Amino acid sequence: MTNTYFFVLGTNHTLSKIDIVNVLGKAGTDFEIVEASEEVLLIATKEPVNISSLMGELGSAAKIGQIFNLYPKEVFPKNLFKEIDESSFKSFFLPQGEKEIRFGVSVYNGGGGFKNLNQTWFLAPKIAREIKEPLGISHLPVKERELSSVVVNQTGLLTHGFELVICNGSKGIYVGKTLTIQDYESYSFRDYGRPARDAFSGMIPPKLAKMMINLAGKEKTDLFLDPFCGSGTILQELVLLGYKNMVGTDSSEKSVTDSTTNLNWLFEKYPIKKNDFAIKIVNADVRKLSSQVSFKTASALVTEPYLGSPKASYFNEEGIRKEIKKLEELYLAAFDEFRKVLKDNGVVVIIFPVFRFNNKFFYLEILEQIKKLGFKKKDYLQENPKGTELLRLNLSSRDSVIFFRPGQTISREIFIFSL
């Protein structure tokens, strides 16, 4: 029996798809990609997937759910309505033992185009009524095309009801329900609730840190390095993912103190034991990394270096070019140290800054120099499941993933290198 699952993607759909495919592959899941869009990714598996465990590993999916059935567009929603009274429909959607059940409806573009999406969304109120009346249950008002994870959580749909998810795909209309949502409260807590924060210097979002760790594709016992540890975001996500060995360094004494404070806070607030981890945090410039880490011992280096002056939003083009030149020197010096401490099969997952001025983008032009240092640029996808061509990844002219937020002067360009 085939199982079909859907993933509601994060704001950067390309990075989300990469994260999902890599984590599934690393877990040994035999799967096929059946549909993909900027909103959702659908996969088919022969064996059931432990969705709760999978969500804990991912940094990318807002929701994960399972598909009940796929309906040809020409008979939808008529064929769905015929199944509402059937036991298979009730056992799939209705929670057992609940007397007052209510549901909500979300409609996503699964790759079937926006014209068909609008037609499906137009049918959503009717679908809600047709399900509500014969089953004698209530539903949330059908106002927005998508219910947020916050609404799904706060209205108790996962425990006392269900979120009916309709995906408009190229092969038909997929109908299913959400099984789990991203723990947005925990992400917010360990981002904004931790004791030491330094917004002035910039902080990598915990979700992005998690996805970068996943990009490394290494084992939980391997040694990880973050030579620009800042306030410790990458280190804390390594801990929560179960990686046991890590070293964080930073040229700023304040950053070392902040990282130490935040990790101690993490061990207090989360059900994890500090003694299960080997963590070293030291004050050291990246240019002297090899004085703190033994030669050829690290399996992965995951980091967000200094991305430039906080005043960069006020720079003109000449100022941006000067800033880039300084950053290029820093990054090349760092890579020269990276090759000393990384194992021969070690990887670097790193962020480069991308500056924007007058609708022009300015990059660090050091890829060839990094290559001369012995590094190879790696593909983002570590797995190649059937249907990979459906992903339609949005890569830059340099075949890189750009992580940006509206209004930002400096965006993040993510690379993977290997020795």
Do 171 and 218 share a structural domain?
Answer: no
Do 355 and 208 share a structural domain?
Answer: yes
pLDDT category at 409 given cuts 50, 70, 90 is confident
Query: For residue 366, is it within any domain?
Result: yes
Strands 245-250, 360-362: parallel, antiparallel or unpaired by DSSP?
A: unpaired
pLDDT category at 165 given cuts 50, 70, 90 is very high
Determine the average pLDDT of the residues in 285-292.
95
Average pLDDT, whole number, for the chain?
A: 95
pLDDT at 408: 73
Backbone angles phi and psi of 291, in degrees to 5: -80, -15
Query: For residue 202, is it within any domain?
Result: yes
Do 212 and 91 share a structural domain?
Answer: no
pLDDT category at 99 given cuts 50, 70, 90 is confident
Range of the domain at 39: 3-182
Do 405 and 269 share a structural domain?
Answer: yes
pLDDT at 33: 98
In the chain, the number of structural domains is 2
Do 218 and 168 share a structural domain?
Answer: no
Do 157 and 17 share a structural domain?
Answer: yes
State percent of the chain over pLDDT 70. 99
Determine the average pLDDT of the residues in 374-395.
95
Q: Is the pLDDT of residue 406 over 80?
A: no
pLDDT at 272: 95
CATH number of the domain enclosing 297:
3.40.50.150
Determine the average pLDDT of the residues in 355-365.
91
Query: For residue 189, is it within any domain?
Result: no
Do 308 and 215 share a structural domain?
Answer: yes
pLDDT category at 359 given cuts 50, 70, 90 is confident
pLDDT at 200: 60
